Amino acid sequence: MDKEQMELVVFEIVNSAGMAKGMAYEALSEAEKGDFEKAENLLKEADEALLSAHNVQTEIIQAEVNGKGITPSVLFVHSQDHLMTAIEAKTLIEGMIKMYRRIDKLEKQ
């Protein structure tokens, strides 16, 4: 994989991870307002964006397994950091949305 191809891979991972993270935070905002349906839809969109980033990452791993590994660059490591934090943020936000749902149910009793 040449430098230009690697930059495209990095961009794709960072872009997808950033979109997923943004959608997860938007879902949290909707849950705060009580719009749990919209929050769930946003979380599904975040999952799709994370899947896109994960698929790119998987291609790189498969290439390495097949002897066509890359020399990791700082940009590639940076993209992995973005992906990891997006996954972690979404996981945490899902838990927070569950709490909002429980609070909402208690308030309606």
User: Hey, which residues are catalytic here?
Assistant: 78
Binding-site annotation: residue ranges? 81
- CB-neighbour burial class of residue 101 (10 A; exposed 0-12, middle 13-18, buried 19+): middle
**Which among 68, 71, 85 has a CA at the least distance from the CA of 13?**
85
Q: Give the tokens for residue 3.
A: 């430098």
Please tell me the distance from the alpha carbon of residue 35 to that of residue 27, in angstroms, as a whole number: 9
**Which among 59, 79, 94, 74 has a CA at the least distance from the CA of 18?**
79
Binding-site annotation: residue ranges for Mg(2+)? 81
